[in-house]
Chain A
Amino acid sequence: DGGITQSPKYLFRKEGQNVTLSCEQNLNHDAMYWYRQDPGQGLRLIYYSQIVNDFQKGDIAEGYSVSREKKESFPLTVTSAQKNPTAFYLCASSIAGVGNQPQHFGDGTRLSIL
Chain B
Amino acid sequence: AQSVTQLGSHVSVSEGALVLLRCNYSSSVPPYLFWYVQYPNQGLQLLLKYTSAATLVKGINGFEAEFKKSETSFHLTKPSAHMSDAAEYFCAVSGNAGNMLTFGGGTRLMVKP
| Nearest CB on B from A60, distance (A) | 13
Residues in chain B near residue A107, CB distance under 8 A:
41-43
Asked if A90 CB lies within 8 Å of chain B CBs, one says yes
Q: Which bracket fits the contact residues of B?
A: 20 to 34
Binary interface encoding of chain A residues 77-114 relative to chain B, with 1 for a CB under 8 A from any of its CBs, else 0: 00000000000101010111111111111111010000
Q: Is the CB of A90 within 8 A of B100?
A: no
Residues in chain B near residue A42, CB distance under 8 A:
90, 103-106
Residues in chain A near residue B36, CB distance under 8 A:
105
Closest to A91 in B: B43
Give Cα A25 to B111, complex, Å.
34
Contact A108/B100 with A41-B105, A100-B32, A102-B49 known, Cβ cut-off 8 Å:
no
Residues of B within 8 A of A (CB): 9, 32, 34, 36, 41-46, 49, 51-52, 90, 94-101, 103-106
Could you name 8 residue pairs across A and B whose Cβ atoms are closer than 8 Å?
A42-B103, A98-B98, A99-B94, A99-B96, A103-B44, A103-B99, A107-B41, A108-B41
